[in-house]
A and B are shown apart, each in its own frame.
Chain A
C-alpha cells in the first residue's frame, strides 16, 4: 500500500478494480514474473493497479437500458488513480520492485521476507501519515551516513537497504531500552512487548526508576530548566493518571511521545487540534492548551487518540475502571464488527465485549468509510444497549 492520500487501504475498502475487467495498465496484473523482465528500471511505466481512490466500474445505472455482462465489459471501469511507475531496490541483497512513492517500510511489509516484514514500529500506523518520531524502524541505506527511518523514507531506484546489520539491531534495541527505562511499557501492544524481548531489551541497567512526579509537576516544567540526573536512578515520565471526564483517561506514565494522538486529533483525521507536544527534550509531554483539563479544552471526545495510542496511555474510562478493579480480562473478550446505530454515514464499529458488556469500541483502520476513526457517538454512545 502506498502512503499517499487517504484512499481505501486495500480489499477492506472494497473498491479496487477486479482483475478480470480491463483496466489501464492491465498487463501488470498478469503476474509477478513480468516484474523481472522488460526494460531496465525506471523506464517502465507499468501501472500499479491498486489505485488509492475508490473507483470501481461506473457502468451500471438503475435506469439505463439493461445490458448484459458482455456489454459491461466493453465499457470497463473508469480508472482515475495515477498510474505509478515501479522502482527497484534491494532488501538485504534481494531485489524487489515497488510502486514509486512507497516507503521502505511498505516495501518491507509487501515484498520482504517474514523477518523483514516484522520490522518494529511504534509511531507508525497503517491509517496515518508517517510521523517519523520513534526511530525504532530504522534501517541502513547504502551511502547514507545515518540510519534511516523506514516508515518515512520513500524508496528510490537502486536503493540498497539492509535490515539485518549489527548497527540496525543495536539502534533498535537502544530505542526500545531507553523507552522502557523511562516509560511504563507493560500495556504496550503485544508486538511491542515481543520486540522488546527479541531485541534483548534490559531496562534495568539504567538503574532503579526515579520516583514519580507529583500531579501536574511535569506539566509546569519549562524548557531549559531541566537538570541532568545524577545517574543513581533512571529518569522517568511517571506521574499520576489524569482522570477529568467520564469517557477517557490519560496515563502519561505510559506515553512514549509517538505523536500519534496529536496527529489523529489534527490533520490525519479529526482536525480539532486539541492537543500537541509542549516542552522540550525530556520534559516534552502531550498537553492541551495551557494544560487545561479536557472538559475545558477543545477536545470533542472523538477518542481517535485512544484508537491510535500504542502503549495504553490513552484508554477509555471503563477500561481504566475495570483494570483498576482487577476485572480487565482481554482473554475473555470478544470483538464483533457491526455498523454504528446513529447517523447515516455507516461507520464500522468493532464492539469489544466482556461478560456481555461493551467495554470498548474501535473501528477497522483499513475500511474506506472510517479509516479507523470515529466520533463521540460511535465510540462512546453505546450505553443505551448496555444491560447492566
Chain B
C-alpha cells in the first residue's frame, strides 16, 4: 500500500473494528484462522458486509451480502465513493492533509450513480448506499480482500478502487482501520519481499535504486544484473510463445496445472529447450521437465522464514528428515552456482537471512533469528534490533507535522472495464473459480489426507439454471469455453445465483478446470483472469447417476 507491498493492519485489529468489509474473499474457508479474528470482531459488536458473487459461508455471517456480478467490483467501489462524496461523508481533514488527486477521483466516479451501479453490478442501489454510509460513518473500518479482487485482467485497478475508498474516509493508518489483502500462500508476501517479483530487489527496493544497488554490490560482489524489471509469469509465457524464452528454471510452482488456459501453457512448456523443475512433488510440470531437482519441504524438513499477510516474519523449522535425495532449496541453488563456476558454499538458513538483513535496512535489519524466536515473529518494517516491529502501518498519514506526514497517498482513479471473456448467446454462463475449506490450490498438498468433507469435483450451478437446461443434480455435462471443454458432473449449489457457475482448481485429475480459464492478464500485476470465464453447459447422452443429496457446504 502506498509504496509498500503489504497489508496495513495486524490481524488482531479485526477483533476491535466496528465494520468489516470482506470483498471478494471467502475467508471463512480460505483463511479460516484470520476469520477467527473476524468472528471475535463480530462477537464484540462489529458489523460485516460481504461483497461476493456467491453467497458464501462468509456471506452467511454478514449483516448484508452484496451479490455482484463477476468483474463489476470497480463499478461498485466507484459508486460507493460517489455516494460518500455526495452524502458529505468524506473525511475532509484526512483527504486534504494526507492525499493527492481527490478532484480527479471525484470526477472519475461522478458518472457511477447508484442506479448505474445497480445496472452494472446487479446489487440493489439501496444496498450500495447502505454500505457506503456504513463504511464512511464507522469509527474503525477495514476492507479485506482475496483472489476475488486480484484474479482479474485489470486486477491492480480493482485494488486501487478499494484503496481509494479507504483514502476517502480516512480508514487507514489508524488502529482498527485498514486495508487487508489476505495472501493465498504461506509465503507469497515473503517471496515478494525477497525480490521474487520482477521490479524489486530483496527488501522492497526498486531494481533501479542505485543507493540500494551499491549496498547489494558490496555484499554480493557484483552489480551485474538488470536495471530494468524482469518478466512476470504471464509475460514469460508470452516470451515462450514468441520463442524468446527457451529455458525455464521452475522452483515450487506447478504452471502446467495452475496456469489459466492450461493446455496452451503445457504446449509452451513442452516446446522449451530446457525445463528445470525443483519441487517437493513430481508435479505435472515435473513430468515435462528435462531435469528435476527433488527439494525438501522447507516448512518441516529444513529451516528458514516465511512472511504472512500481516507482514509477520516467522521461522519455519526442521521437524522430520527429508526423503531420499531431497535437498534444501538453498543448497540446490548454491550447488548449481558452484557447478556454474561461482563457489557460494553451502550457507545455513540463518547465514542467508543475516545477509538479507545486512541489505534490507528498512524492513528486516532488526530481525535476528533470536528475536524472531523470542517475539513469535516480527512485523516489518523493523529497521533495528531495538525496534519492536510495526503491526500497524501508515500512521504517519495522520501526523500533525507535514514533515512527519511525509509523502501524501495518491488517489488512483480507475474505470470499470468488463471481463475480457464476454458473455453472449453462445457462452451465456459466467464460470468462476472458487476454493474449498479442506483443499488447496492444484491439490498436490491437500490431496494427501483423507478429508471427510471431500466431495467429487463438479460444476456447481444454480438450481434454476439446471432446471432451465434440463440437467439433474449429479448428471455429467460438457462444459465449453472459448478455449477448451471438459466433462464434469453437475452439483446444485444454493450459494450461486442464476447465470453463475463455479469449479474449484483443487482436483485437476477429475476436472482440468484451467483448460477453460482465460489467460488474459493484468499488465500491472501479471495475474490471469481466473475469476471470469464465459461458458456454456451442454447435455450429454442421457446416462446419469444422480447424487443422493445436495452439495454439502463446508464451514457453515
Contacts and interface: CB of A to CB of B under 8 A. Distances in A.
B451 A376 contact: yes
A64 B2 CA distance: 10
21 contacts: A11-B374, A13-B376, A14-B375, A53-B16, A54-B391, A59-B396, A60-B390, A64-B404, A270-B36, A294-B452, A300-B437, A300-B438, A342-B186, A342-B445, A344-B188, A368-B11, A373-B36, A376-B438, A377-B437, A383-B448, A385-B300
A358 B321 contact: no
Contacts of A54: 10-13, 391
B316 A338 contact: yes
B403 interface: yes
B204 to A, nearest CB: 6
Given A60-B381, A61-B381, A338 B319 contact: yes
Contact of A11 (B321, B376, B394, B450): B376
B376 A336 contact: no
A346 B306 contact: yes
Interface in A296-311: 298-302
A125 to B, nearest CB: 15
Nearest to B321: A356
B64 interface: no
Nearest to A60: B381
Contact of B445 (A20, A369, A384): A384
B362 interface: yes
Interface string B375-416: 111110111101111111111100100011011000000000
A385 B280 contact: yes
Contacts of B399: 75
A69 interface: yes
Judged by DSSP, the binding face of B is: loop
Contact of B320 (A271, A351, A366): A351
A367 B376 contact: yes
Contact of B4 (A63, A65, A338, A381): A63
A272 B553 CA distance: 12
Contacts of A61: 4, 381, 393-396, 406
A165 interface: no
Interface stretch (B113-121, B177-185, B213-221, B269-277): B177-185
Contacts of A358: 300, 319-320
Q: Report the 4 A-B pairs with minimum CB-CB distance, sorted nearest first.
A: A346-B308, A344-B183, A58-B395, A384-B448
A378 interface: yes
Contacts of A298: 556
Given A12-B376, A339-B316, A62 B297 contact: no
A5 B44 CA distance: 9
Contacts of A357: 320
A195 interface: no
B391 to A, nearest CB: 5
Given A343-B186, A368-B11, A64 B448 contact: no
A8 to B, nearest CB: 7
A345 interface: yes
A345 B43 CA distance: 21
A348 B300 CA distance: 12
Interface residues of A, number: 86
Contact of A53 (B4, B12, B312, B384): B12
Interface in A339-379: 339-348, 351, 353, 356-358, 364, 366-371, 373-378
Interface residues of B, number: 98
B363 interface: yes
A200 interface: no
Nearest to A385: B297
B450 A381 contact: no
Given A63-B406, A78-B395, A271-B39, A343 B31 contact: yes
Contacts of B378: 14
Given A62-B381, A63-B407, A339 B186 contact: yes
Interface string A67-100: 0010010010010100000000000000000000
A270 to B, nearest CB: 7
A387 B478 CA distance: 39
A75 B306 contact: no
Interface in B25-42: 30-34, 36-37, 39-40
Contacts of A57: 387-388, 390
Contacts of B175: 53, 55, 58, 78, 80
Interface in A20-68: 20-21, 53-65
B297 to A, nearest CB: 5
A272 B556 contact: yes
Contacts of A340: 186, 299
B301 interface: yes
Contacts of A245: 452
B442 to A, nearest CB: 12
Contacts of B187: 344
Nearest to B311: A346
A387 to B, nearest CB: 4
Given A61-B406, A300-B554, A344-B183, A55 B320 contact: no
A297 to B, nearest CB: 10
Contacts of B183: 343-344
Contacts of A56: 379, 388-392
Nearest to B7: A344
B15 interface: yes
A131 interface: no
A316 to B, nearest CB: 11
B418 interface: no
